[in-house]
Amino acid sequence: MFDQYDVIVIGAGHAGCEAAHAAAKMGSKVLLCTMNMNTIAQMSCNPAMGGVAKGQIVREIDALGGMSGIISDKSMIQFRMLNRSKGPAMWSPRSQNDRMRFAEEWRLALERNPNVDFWQEMVTGIVVKGGRVVGVRTGMGIEIPGKSVVLTNGTFLNGIIHIGEKQFGGGRTGESASKGITEQLVELGFESGRMKTGTPPRVDGRSLDYSKMEIQYGDENPEKFSYSDETSPLKEQRTCWITYTNKNVHETLETGFDRSPMFNGRIQGLGPRYCPSIEDKINRFAERERHQIFVEPEGWNTVEIYVNGFSTSLPEDVQYKAMRQIPGFENAKMFRPGYAIEYDFFPPTQLSLTLETKLVENLFFAGQINGTTGYEEAGSQGLIAGINASLKVQEKDPFVLQRSEAYIGVLIDDLINKGTEEPYRMFTSRAEFRLLLRQDNADIRLTERGYQIGLAEQSRFDKVQNKKEETARLINDLKQKKLEPAISNEILEEIGTATIREKISIEKLLKRPQIGVNELKILDKDLESYLSGFAQDVLEQAEIQIKYDSYIEKERQMVEKLSNMEDFKIPQKFDYLKVPALSAEGRQKLNKIRPITLGQASRISGVSPADLSILTVYLGR
């Protein structure tokens, strides 16, 4: 029935969709095999994309030529740039999305690609010959041949759903768990673990009293994720609301603690620390009298509401009773209760930087299967796995992003070198060069890389080149252009910044915290008309580069210093066990992870600075 595929992707979640799209775009013949074609790109939890550090990842995916940014733009109902009051390294785009449209847009995008075939069925195992994957086996016993396989099973591997004392098998509510893959991989020598995550109840928006809540609008001038011209910012937006729990809500929730799978030991997997359930919050922060609840619509037209901040696996009657004590929820009708899910994952230290497994050649893992949480983390891994699966079958060089190039580089480097014991989510604090890894410059950082491997299109490449050239021209001009004291001091005073005694370059003026491009426009008519010849993103880029020049330069110098270590390659057959001077832990970890460079070795937890010096001497550096 099936010809041999270049890349078979198992699972059509966020990781699987990006993997299939990237590989197909790069010319590989792809089969996307998923349990249910009606749940392609399902947002299992929150119908939102981006947020702090995650928004940067969506922009990076987009800059490389992936689809998450475009799909998010096409399905968004509200957009906000978070952390605008902080420095540009912290600005983070976030969208609220229409859950159904998000899934539909992804499916249509994949269907439009003639290199993607689909097959709806549960895959129960992979076919391995001579240490290399050569296909997959399905529940019906069909063997589908493939040169490479990307596993993106999400929360489905031996998934168990918990609601109070009830527990049943499932990969997500209403969907069955995936059986067979974990057992086979463990037999092949893989190590597996167990994690858990949870989701809040969904309610009927018609039953809520919004007058008791605070309204939360989208940005007045909304932006979008994608750098491409394929999408545009929203003209209309839906509002969200904020309300709070209270003592009564907490007391009611506590009545269910003895039946909570979280507290009675039934759930063993570790959950996401930074996305705790409401019972966890009450338990851990007993002194807090209230917790914030974001009331978020699930789409343009649906009445379904996502109760963000109220994730729970308490018995459904307790959830219902407690929820109705939240202001505005007194008459709330529940569509479905919250639940927790436990699932298998594979510690990501078993992967190389391309996300290929070390044990089985041409087998790649991406997404929640690697111990991460979040659509953005999953999508970006899917993108990298899809790219590398495609490059591998085309016998081309692997594609790896450095920590100094992208949050995606930080994510994968952390995963494979440090592993993770609890669901890993991205934070800006995980990146050491976060002033370089901004959301506004992902295209400048990455589009050329995406273009070189045949993923980002020519039009994107040209657009970025143009942005770079225009920004350089503008910065240069602003260094030359001067402002006269006579015409500008009055306005400078109005803006609240020091007046000037002699001519000053616009570049210098722009370094002042009170002055941005918008202020420049009101300072001088000629300047205003000159600036109006530049696109908004060029103006913003020039402003950031000028304002933060010295900090950016410092980070660049640090990257350069470290790149010596990153460039120093370690032979892949190097026998760490024969270096007795290494610490026992260092030796064991180096042998397990098998770093490619000295830089990578330095980031492995358990490898000490002393181990590193010994290694450096041994390698004859």
Binding site for ligand FAD (CB under 6 A): 10-16, 33-36, 39, 44-45, 122-123, 152-156, 171-172, 178, 181, 197-199, 275, 341, 367-368, 373-375, 378
Q: Which is nearer to ligand FAD, 293 or 510 (CB)?
A: 293
Where are the strands (E) in 456-584, listed by range?
482-483, 504-505
Rounded to a whole number of angstroms, the minimum distance from the CB of residue 351 to ligand FAD is 14
Three-state secondary structure of 393-420: HCCCCCCCCCCCCCHHHHHHHHHHHHCC
281 annotated as ligand-binding:
yes
Using alpha carbons only, give the angle 5, 9, 12 rounded to the nearest 5 degrees: 140
362 annotated as ligand-binding:
no
Structural contact between residues 195 and 65, judged by C-beta atoms closer than 8 angstroms: no
273 annotated as ligand-binding:
yes
282 annotated as ligand-binding:
yes
Rounded to a whole number of angstroms, the minimum distance from the CB of residue 192 to ligand FAD is 14
276 annotated as ligand-binding:
yes
Q: Which is nearer to ligand FAD, 367 or 419 (CB)?
A: 367
Q: Which is nearer to ligand FAD, 57 or 614 (CB)?
A: 57
Report the phi/psi class of residue 227: left, alpha or beta, with left for phi > 0 and alpha for psi in -120 to 50.
Answer: alpha
Q: Which is nearer to ligand FAD, 45 or 520 (CB)?
A: 45
13 annotated as ligand-binding:
yes
Please state, in angstroms and rounded to a whole number, the distance separating the CA atoms of residues 358 and 543.
Answer: 45
Q: How far is CA 563 from the centre of its chain?
A: 25
H or E element at residue 540? helix 536-547
Q: Which is nearer to ligand FAD, 57 or 582 (CB)?
A: 57
572 annotated as ligand-binding:
no
Q: How far is CA 451 from the centre of its chain?
A: 21
Which residues does 280 contact at the CB level (< 8 Å), separation at least 6?
A: 262, 271
Residue owning tokens 């995008």: 109
From residue 368, give the alpha-carbon distance in Å to each of 246, 344, 397, 621.
33, 9, 26, 38
Number of helices (H), then strands (E), in the chain: 21, 22
320 annotated as ligand-binding:
no
Q: Which is nearer to ligand FAD, 136 or 406 (CB)?
A: 136
Write out the two tokens for 192.
Answer: 């597996």
368 annotated as ligand-binding:
yes
Rounded to a whole number of angstroms, the minimum distance from the CB of residue 35 to ligand FAD is 4
Rounded to a whole number of angstroms, the minimum distance from the CB of residue 124 to ligand FAD is 7
Q: Which is nearer to ligand FAD, 136 or 475 (CB)?
A: 136
From residue 354, give the alpha-carbon distance in Å to each of 90, 102, 215, 387.
28, 28, 44, 9
141 annotated as ligand-binding:
no
Rounded to a whole number of angstroms, the minimum distance from the CB of residue 130 to ligand FAD is 24
Q: Which is nearer to ligand FAD, 34 or 362 (CB)?
A: 34
Rg of the chain, C-alpha, whole Å: 26
Q: Which is nearer to ligand FAD, 79 or 306 (CB)?
A: 306
Structural contact between residues 602 and 570, judged by C-beta atoms closer than 8 angstroms: no
Rounded to a whole number of angstroms, the minimum distance from the CB of residue 298 to ligand FAD is 14
Backbone φ, ψ for residue 162 (5° rounding): -120, 130
DSSP states of 414-459: HHHHH--SS-B---GGG-TTTTTS-GGGHHHHHHHHHHHTT-S-HH
Rounded to a whole number of angstroms, the minimum distance from the CB of residue 170 to ligand FAD is 9
601 annotated as ligand-binding:
no
Pairing of strands 5-10, 143-151: parallel
309 annotated as ligand-binding:
no
Rounded to a whole number of angstroms, the minimum distance from the CB of residue 420 to ligand FAD is 13
For residue 301, which amino acid is it? N
398 annotated as ligand-binding:
no
Q: Which is nearer to ligand FAD, 199 or 390 (CB)?
A: 199
Rounded to a whole number of angstroms, the minimum distance from the CB of residue 328 to ligand FAD is 22
Rounded to a whole number of angstroms, the minimum distance from the CB of residue 544 to ligand FAD is 28
Which residues does 322 contact at the CB level (< 8 Å), separation at least 6?
A: 249, 250, 252, 253, 314
Q: Which residues are annotated as a binding site for NAD(+)?
A: 271-285
Q: Which residues are annotated as a binding site?
A: 11-16, 123, 178, 271-285, 368
Q: Which residues are annotated as a binding site for FAD?
A: 11-16, 123, 178, 368
